Amino acid sequence: MSDWTVKNLAETIRRRAISPVEATQECLARIARLDGRLRAFIALDAEGALATAKALEVEAGDGRWRGPLHGVPLAFKDLCQVSPLPTSCGTRTRDYFTAERDCTAARRLLDAGAVALGKLNMTELAMGPFGDNAHHGHVQNPWRAGRVSGGSSSGSGAAVAAGLCVGALGTDTGGSIRLPAACCGIAGLKPTYGRVSRAGAMPLSWSNDHIGPMARTVGDVGMLLQVIAGRDPLDATSSARAVPDYLSGLERSIAGLRIKTPVNFFYEGVDAEIASGVREALRAFEGLGARVGDLALPDPEVMADVCNVISRSEAVAIHGRLLRERPDDIQPVVRARLELGFRIPAHQYLQALRLRARLTRTFVREVFSETDLLVAPVIPEPAPRLSHATEGAAEELAQRQGRFSRLTRPFNGWGLPALSVPCGFSRDGLPLALQIVGRPFDEATVLRAGHAYEQSTTWHRRRPSLD
């Protein structure tokens, strides 16, 4: 099961070479064998998953197929409401978040035939880039025990990389899809703001939150995006733009595509192996016919600072009651980050929203008149030790968190589609990654470039040694 992708498993089920029940049983067996040390799941629904798989198996036998994911086992970050499972959002409270209806993105995957295995571990309240969680256990990186898995969609990254499920949903407010994808050596997409409904998922910062797919390959990410994208009346911020066919153009050549890498901000303080991996990938893009070059960007640090003001203000508005009434229930570093929101005046928050809109217009106009795609590092260093996330004073930990997510956060402010793709391994065997960023709602080009690069390398075929 560890070698399945969404695409080849769905095709194998269609050929009846494996049944939905067999696929689900294999995932559950792997979870039973490995998750005691990985800590990727918060809530496992083995009984519900098998019941769903049996129903799907009967339907398949009758020639009835719910959709492209018929029988494919997936799992969801534990801030997505998926009945009847509780939603803790990584807190110690079993049902911290409730919604009148299931998470729209999760429901669309299930309606397309997916089997829900359960809910995945995450940084408490989605507030942290490392994947540590004192309540449910720190998620271990499948490539190296004792290393961070990336956060806050830590369980999603680890579960997919370890083959516990073939795909997962994550959320991304400042990098929380791309960081675990990069740390765990898988693909993860933060779509354009509004491309995927966020209804039924716990918000952290409604101005910066995104929901997106995580999977082994770029093609799998495209398959999942195809299902979850589109307008949702339950989310007023979801876009009414038509959803293109993301898969039809995936194999098209990228010859002539303009791909630029930033000369400012994104390589500052970055580990030499990360920088080298991205530079080598740029040469691969060039070998595929892309027009590769450098580009100076409008200062990304300004947008990163704006995002911090917005996210802190909105996070404390959402979770302020928990902070006031049960502060000792929250991990110290999460509590410290939340408390920052109380110190931000309303006028500063409103000014940040206005500035964000102006900065975004300027960025899109100036940058994408010069290039079709940006390529940059995702993480400043290969997955650090878990002690990096858990040892030290709260202020020191917060500084480490800010540094680790600094390369992803600006793209949440600009709301642009950003895809994390593996681009090598460090000398000691930890994944390296790059992010590909495109114009608003141009996920198709982002995925096409990511797929072309992926097919020209073998990084995505490597698997962590766990058995």
pLDDT digit string, tens, across residues 153-200 = 999 999 999 999 999 999 999 999 999 999 999 999 999 999 999 999
What is the DSSP annotation of 85-128?
S---TTSSSTT----SS--HHHHHHHHTT-EEEEEE--SGGG--
Report the Cα–Cα distance between both ends of the chain, in Å, rounded.
12
Q: 435 near 408, Cβ under 8 Å?
A: yes
pLDDT at residue 427, as a whole number: 97
Helix (H, G, I), strand (E, B) or coil at 168: strand
- Give the single-character DSSP code of 461: G
Q: 454 near 217, Cβ under 8 Å?
A: yes
What is the Cα–Cα distance from 285 to 279, expressed in whole angstroms? 10
Query: Once rounded to an integer, what is the mean pLDDT over residues 10-35?
Result: 98
pLDDT in tens, 401-447: 999 999 999 999 999 999 999 999 999 999 999 999 999 999 999 99
Strands 167-172, 210-215: pairing kind? antiparallel
Q: 218 near 419, Cβ under 8 Å?
A: yes
The separation between CA 52 and the C-alpha centre of its own chain, rounded to angstroms, equals: 26
- Provide the Cα torsion 442, 180, 462, 159; round to 10°: -110
pLDDT at residue 250, as a whole number: 97
pLDDT beyond 60 at 141? yes
pLDDT at residue 180, as a whole number: 98
pLDDT at residue 395, as a whole number: 86
Strands 210-215, 187-190: pairing kind? antiparallel
Q: Hey, what are 136's tokens?
A: 């449910």
Sheet holding 373-377, edge to edge: 41-44, 115-120, 73-77, 167-172, 210-215, 187-190, 418-425, 431-437, 373-377, 258-262, 291-295
Cβ neighbours of residue 126 under 8 Å, at least 6 residues apart? 79, 89, 90, 151, 152, 171, 173, 176, 202, 204
- The neighbour count for residue 268, using CB atoms within 10 Å, is 11
Number of H helices, E strands in the chain: 15, 11
What is the Cα–Cα distance from 104 to 86, expressed in whole angstroms? 16
The alpha-carbon radius of gyration of the chain (Å, integer) is 20
Query: Once rounded to an integer, what is the mean pLDDT over residues 52-78?
Result: 97
The residues annotated with a catalytic role in the active site are 77, 152, 176
- The neighbour count for residue 283, using CB atoms within 10 Å, is 10
**Average pLDDT of the residues of the chain:** 97
Say which residue the tokens 């058995």 belong to: 467
Q: 187 near 460, Cβ under 8 Å?
A: yes
What is the Cα–Cα distance from 231 to 352, expressed in whole angstroms? 27
What is the Cα–Cα distance from 371 to 394, expressed in whole angstroms? 41
What is the Cα–Cα distance from 231 to 25, expressed in whole angstroms? 34
Residue count of the chain: 467
pLDDT in tens, 307-342: 999 999 999 999 999 999 999 999 999 999 999 999
> Please, which pLDDT band fits residue 467 given cuts at 50, 70 and 90?
confident
> Please, which pLDDT band fits residue 1 given cuts at 50, 70 and 90?
low
pLDDT beyond 80 at 289? yes
Query: Once rounded to an integer, what is the mean pLDDT over residues 72-78?
Result: 98
What is the DSSP annotation of 331-367?
-HHHHHHHHGGGGS-HHHHHHHHHHHHHHHHHHHHHH
What is the Cα–Cα distance from 343 to 297, expressed in whole angstroms? 31
CATH superfamily ID and name for 6-300+350-461: Amidase signature (AS) domain (3.90.1300.10)
pLDDT in tens, 254-285: 999 999 999 999 999 999 999 999 999 999 99
Q: Hey, what are 405's tokens?
A: 């997510």
> Please, which pLDDT band fits residue 2 given cuts at 50, 70 and 90?
low
β-bridge partners, 385: 147
Query: Residue 464: which of 76, 184, 225, 204 has the closest Cα?
Result: 184
Query: Residue 454: which of 254, 198, 265 has the closest Cα?
Result: 254
Query: Once rounded to an integer, what is the mean pLDDT over residues 210-220?
Result: 98
